[in-house]
Amino acid sequence: MSVLPIVSPAHNADGVALQPLITAIYPFSLDEGSIDATTCFLVKKISSGGVNSTSQIPVKVELKRIQLTSNTEYTGSDFGNDVDSGQKYRSEISIIPATQLSSHSNYSVILSKDIAKKSVFDLIVNPTNIGEKAPILKGPYSGLTPNEYKIEIIIGGSESVAKYKVTRISDNHVINNLTAKKRFIEIERGLFIKFDTGTYVAGDFFNVIVKPLVKTNEIYSWDFSTGDSNYIQPQDENSSVIIGLPVNNSTGGSTGTTSSFKLVSVSPRPDSIMNNPANKIVTFTFNKNIKPSSVTADKIKLIAESTATNYYGPLDYTFAVEDNKIIITFD
């Protein structure tokens, strides 16, 4: 399967923030069970004394559902029973470094070939269930044919006390008298289940549709270099796609214009912002007009750093878009 995700920072981007949000958007939905720190890596590239090496950076990995035609969150469900199942939304992988990256250093992001398309779909809750709690299931499912499983609570109670059975619908095979565990356990063929803290009611049941595992089967990687500031400077004509800012009043993506979409200036200068607490407004000027509706709070990350109080964390702000400018006001 040849897939080219949309990534941020852009490949070979320079001057990337020291605590960046690294993302990769796939054009279809991914299986949550195939996305974690074993399939999504961040490594620092080191060159010393003519010897090249890498060091893996600890990261947190998250998976988000986003709309097919925008970067806003998809809040619907996909139960796996429609013709467009697996294609109702796109998946955005977020890779968040556990610690601040080194300044003026080279990094590579690597996505494993074991990342898989969605194979375990959303849980179908019986509408007459009495209890409010439901199990959590994940894949990727490794069976060779589509199937459906029914999970029924047979003895009510809290997690680690309640009992349940699983029925494979295709042949009515039953796995009986299982204990509701708080950790993921494998039912069969890569289908995992767990029960969070709560009370589960006897007689309640749930169904889940599964489909055969389809891996991307390609390793995808890209490089970037850090700077010493908290903004990213786009590098090529696809930057409007990568950072999600349509230009020239377009509806998204590269418009075929002759010049690249670039950050032209920051006012006040970054060193002035850091050294003068009175600076409460920062203006980012680009070389093209920006569509205002394309700039949302999830695309702006404002970080405060204080050596005096040893604080490093988010800062409250408001923003506005005026022509080719993004104006940020903070407290």
Predicted pLDDT of residue 91 = 96
Residue 304 near residue 328 (C-beta atoms within 8 A): no
Q: Residue 252: which residues within 8 A CB-CB, separation 6 or more?
A: 69, 70, 240, 241, 244, 246, 294
Residue ranges of domains in the chain, CATH in brackets: 1-116+215-228 (2.60.40.1220), 124-210 (no CATH), 230-331 (no CATH)
- For 233, the token pair is 């400077």
Kind and range of the H or E element at 240? Answer: helix 239-242
Global confidence as pTM: 0.68
Kindly give the pairing relationship between strand 303-306 and strand 311-314: antiparallel
Calpha distance 243→13 (Å, rounded)? 12
Predicted pLDDT of residue 256 = 37
AA identity, residue 73: E
Q: Encode the chain (331 residues) as per-residue pLDDT tens digits.
A: 567 899 999 999 988 989 898 999 999 999 999 999 999 999 999 988 778 899 999 999 999 999 999 989 999 999 999 999 999 999 999 999 999 999 999 999 999 999 999 999 999 999 999 999 999 999 999 999 999 999 999 999 999 999 999 999 999 999 999 999 999 999 999 999 999 999 999 999 999 999 999 999 999 999 999 987 544 444 433 333 334 444 443 333 333 334 567 777 777 765 455 445 566 788 888 888 888 888 888 778 776 655 455 555 677 888 888 888 898 887 6
Kind and range of the H or E element at 272? Answer: helix 270-275
- For 252, the token pair is 């998204």
Predicted pLDDT of residue 6 = 92
AA identity, residue 112: S
AA identity, residue 294: S
Is the Cα torsion angle 254, 258, 262, 265 positive or negative in sign?
negative
Q: Count other Cβ atoms within 10 Å, centred on residue 215.
A: 17
Choose among 117, 137, 156: nearest CA to 207.
Answer: 137
Residue 245 near residue 299 (C-beta atoms within 8 A): yes
- Dump the DSSP string for 22-59: EEEEESS-B-GGG-STTTEEEEEEEEETTEEEEEEPPE
Calpha distance 309→292 (Å, rounded)? 36
